[in-house]
Structure 1
Amino acid sequence: MEQLANLLVQQTALSAQREERMVAMIEWLLSPFGGVAASSDHRPATNDAPARLPAAATPAPFLTSSASLRDFAAWKIKFNGYMLLTRANNLPPKEQRAILLSLLDEDWNRVIRYTLQVAKDTPAKEIVMAIEAHLRTQRNVLVDRREFYSWIQEEGETLDDFLCSLKEIASFCDFYQHCFDTQLRDHVVCGARDNEAAKAMLANKDLTLNNAVDVCRASEVARNTRAELRSGAIGKVSAYQRQRSQTREYGATRDINQKCTRCGYRRHTDFTACPAISATCRNCGESGHFQSVCGRFDVDVSDTSTERTT
C-alpha cells in the first residue's frame, strides 16, 4: 500500500509539471515575440498590452436578429466585458469591426452594411451604439411606457423583485434623467400591494424614492415576522390540542393517583405504555381494555391479577 501511495504521489506531481509546461508553451505562442518579452520582463500587463485571449476566457456573446431591445441590453453588457477581457479595445478599428461582425448573425451583418451609416474604420463601440439606436426606432416608446404605468406588484412578489422589474422597464421608456427617480417613486406608491405602507408613504409630503423603498421594505419585514410568529404559535396550539385529545382518548393524565380506565392500573403519562392497548376483553370481546374494567359486567377489580400480568 505504501508503494502504491508513493506511485500515486509521483504521478500527480508529473501531471502537475506537464500542465505547467503546457500553460507556459501556450503563453509563449500567444506572446507577440515568441515568449522573449514575457521571459525578460515580469511586469504586470497594462492596457497598452497587445490583445490576447486569457487562459480561462468566457464564450463570446452572440446576437441574433430576433433579439428584443432588452435582449440587446443584456448582450451589450456581455460584449463590453468580452472586449475588455480580451483587450480587443486596443486593436485597430478594422479589427474591432471584424470581431463584432463575427458575433452577429447574417441579418445583422446586412443591416450594418446596407442600413446603418457606419464607415469601415468605425470602432466597435460606435457600431454598437448605432445598432441600439436602430432597435429603438423599431419599437414605439409608448409601448414601454404603457407597460411601466400598468405594472403592479403581484401577490407574493417581494419588493426587491418588483422594484427590479420596474427599473428594467423604466430604462427603455426614455424618461428624462432628472425625473427618473420621481417616476419610480410615484409608481412604487401606486403599484405596491401593502396598504399600510401606502398610507405611510402618502403621509410624507417630502417623500423620495429611497424613503418609499425604506417604508415598503420595513413593512414587508414586519409582515413576514408577524406571519412567522403566528405560524409558530398556531403550531404550538395544535400540538397542545393533539396532546389533550390523546389524553382524553386514552385516559392519560398527570394525576398518577387515579386509575387507568383501560387496564385498571395507575394512569400513564404515555398512552402507549398501557398494557391493555393490544388486549382483548373476555367479557365483551372488544379490544383495548381488560376484563377487570369492562363496563358491561360488574367485575371485582381486585380479582384481576391474571389480566394485569398479561
Structure 2
Amino acid sequence: MPVIQCPIEDCEYETPDVESVVAAALITAHATSHQTRNGSAHVEKVKRPTVSSAGTTQDWQYFKSRWDDYVRATRLRGTDKVIQLLECCDDQLRKDLTRNAGGTLTGKTEDEVLAAIRGLAVREENTMVARVTLHNMRQERDEPIRVFGARLRGQASICKFQRQCTNCEADVDYTEAMLRDVLCRGLEDTKVQMDLLGDKNQDMTLEQVLTFVEAKEAGKRSAARLLLPQSTDAMTSSSYRKQKKPSPLATPPKNQEACTYCGTKGHGKNSPTRVRRTECPAFGTTCTHCGKDHHFEKVCRNKNHTRSTDHEDNISDTLCGLTSTDTTGSITLDHHIFDPSTDKWYRRPSKPQPYIRL
C-alpha cells in the first residue's frame, strides 16, 4: 500500500505500509497530536489589508508590511497569493489595474502585481517636500515621546536619507542621525529640551534620546501625582482655618461707630481721654468754629459761632511758610487762622494730614 505523509508543513511524519483504512486512522490520530501541541485556543482569523488610490509613499509602506504579515499568517502560495493580493484593492483601483493591464493579472507573479498596484495607488512626492515636512513636525501637547518618535520615523521612511559612498560605493543610511536632531528640535517641553541640550553626553543615539526624554516625562507625571494630594490637604486645611477663625472682613470689628471728636472710626464713639490721646487725631487741636480744644470743626456741635469761610485755609497755608526778617535775624511765624467774627488772627495748630485706618 502507498505511504501517506502528514499534510502539515515542516512535519516529516508518514504512515507505514499498511492498509488504507489503517493509514487513514493513523493520519487522523497524528493530526490530533498537532492540535494538542498547538493548543485548543481559538485563533482569530487574520484580517486582509486594503489599499486604495491616491495614497502616499508612507501609506504604501504600511500596506506592504501588513501584506507580508498576512502572507506569513495564511501561508499563501502561487496563484492564491496573487488572487488575494488583487482582492486587497478597492473597486476603483481594481478596475484601473484591469484596464491598464488589458486583462486579468492572475497569471503574473507577486512582484509584478505589486509593481502594478504601486504605480496606480501611490501618488509620487518630491523628496525635498517630504524632508521639509519632517523638519516642521512638532510634538503635540501631552503626546508621549515614543508616539512622536513613531510619527517622525514614518515620515523619514520616505525622505530617502541615503547616500552612496564615493570610495566603496556602499549605501550609507543616515536616517537615525536626522531623526535624533529633528526630535530634539521638535520637543514640546522647553525645560526638557534645555536639559537634553545641556547634558554632558552630546553624542547620544536616537534610542538614548528617547530614553532620556521618556524618563523626564515620567518624572513630571510622578511629581504631579505627588503634589496633588499636598495641594488638596493645603486647601482643606485653609478651609478649616477659615471656618474656625472668621476673616476680619467678614465680621466687623468693634468700635465701628464714628468718633464724636474727629468723625473717624476705629477707637469708639466716646472714648476716654487716655484712648483719644493716642488714637484720636483731633486730640490736641482747636476747633476753628467754636475755638474749643480736642475736636474738629466738621463734628462741632456749637451752632452759635459763624462758620469760617473756605478761603481761610488757603490763607493759613500761606502763613505757615512766612518768615519775618529784621536787623536782628529771621523769625518763623506759627500757624494762624483768621476769625471773621472778631476780625483777628489766632495762633492754632494746623490740621493733621488725612488718613484712613486699614
Q: TM-score range by the shorter chain?
A: 0.5 to 0.7
Q: What whole-Å deviation, never above 9, does each CA across 1:21-68 have from its counterpart, x for those lacking one?
A: xxxxxxxxxxxxxx95852643649xxxxxxxx974234333232544
In the comparison of the two structures, how many residue pairs are matched? 205
Q: Are residues 211 and 200 of structure 1, via their aligned partners in 2, closer, same or farther at CA, if it must alter by over 3 Å?
A: farther
Q: What's the offset of the Cα at 1:208? A: 2.0
- Contact 2:58/2:157 (CA < 8 Å) preserved in 1? no
Does residue 235 of the first structure (1) align with residue 232 of the second (2)? yes
| Shift of residue 71, structure 1, vs aligned partner | 3.6
Q: Is the 8 A contact 1:182 1:209 kept in 2?
A: yes
Matched-pair contact (CA < 8 Å) for 1:201–1:207: no
Match of 2:192 among 171, 191, 197: 197
1:87 paired residue among 64, 75, 78? 75
> What does residue 157 of structure 2 align with?
171
Check the 8 A contact 2:145/2:214 in 1, yes or no.
Answer: yes
- Distance in structure 2 (CA, Å) of the matches to 1:184 and 1:227: 30
Query: Which structure features the higher share of strand residues?
Result: 2
Distance change >3 Å, CA 154–CA 57, structure 1 → 2 = closer
Query: Which stretch of structure 1 is more off in the superposition, 132-141 or 241-250?
Result: 132-141
Structure 1 residues 131 and 232: CA distance shift in structure 2, 3 A: same
Q: TM-score, normalised by structure 1?
A: 0.55
Structure 1 gap ranges (5+): 1-34, 46-53, 251-310
Whole-Å separation in 1 of the counterparts to 2:90 and 2:61:
17
Q: Would the alpha carbon gap of residues 133 and 209 (structure 1) be closer, same or farther in structure 2, given more than 3 Å must change?
A: farther
Q: In the alignment, what sits opposite 1:151?
A: 137
Task: Quote how far apart the aligned CAs of 1:146 are.
Answer: 1.8
Indicate conservation of the 8 Å contact 2:86/2:94, yes or no. Answer: yes
Counterparts of 1:146 and 1:116 in 2: how far apart (Å)?
36
Equivalent pair of 1:197/1:215 in contact (CA under 8 Å): no
- For residue 39 of structure 1, what is the aligned residue in structure 2? 28
Task: Using structure 2 for the length normalisation, give the TM-score.
Answer: 0.48
Q: 1: CA distance between counterparts of 2:126 and 2:133? A: 12
Name the % identity: 20
**CA-to-aligned-CA distance 1:108-132 (integer Å, 9 cap, x gap):** 3344445579975433255325534
C-alpha distance in structure 2 between counterparts of 1:218 and 1:96, whole Å: 45
1:78–1:245 Cα change, 3 Å: same
Structure 1 CA distance for aligned equivalents of residues 63 and 227 of structure 2: 46
Higher helix share: 1
Residue 218 (structure 1) shift: 2.2
- Counterpart residue number, 1:246: 243
Q: Aligned pair in 2 of structure 1 residues 84, 175: CA closer, same or farther (>3 Å)?
A: same
Give the one of 74, 83, 89 matched to 1:104.
Answer: 89
RMSD over aligned CA atoms reads 3.4
For 1:81, give the aligned amino acid: D
Counterpart AA for 1:79: W
Task: Give the direction of change, closer, same or farther, for the CA distance of 1:134–1:142 in structure 2 (3 Å limit).
Answer: farther
Could you tell me which of 197, 212, 217 is aligned with 2:209? 212
1:6-17 equivalent positions in 2, closer than 5 A:
none
Query: In structure 2, what is the Cα distance between the partners aligned to 1:114 and 1:138?
Result: 21
Unaligned runs of 5+ in 2: 1-22, 36-41, 163-171, 248-358
Q: Aligned partners of 1:65 and 1:136: how far apart in 2?
A: 7
Separation in 2 of the partners of 1:167 and 1:68?
Answer: 15
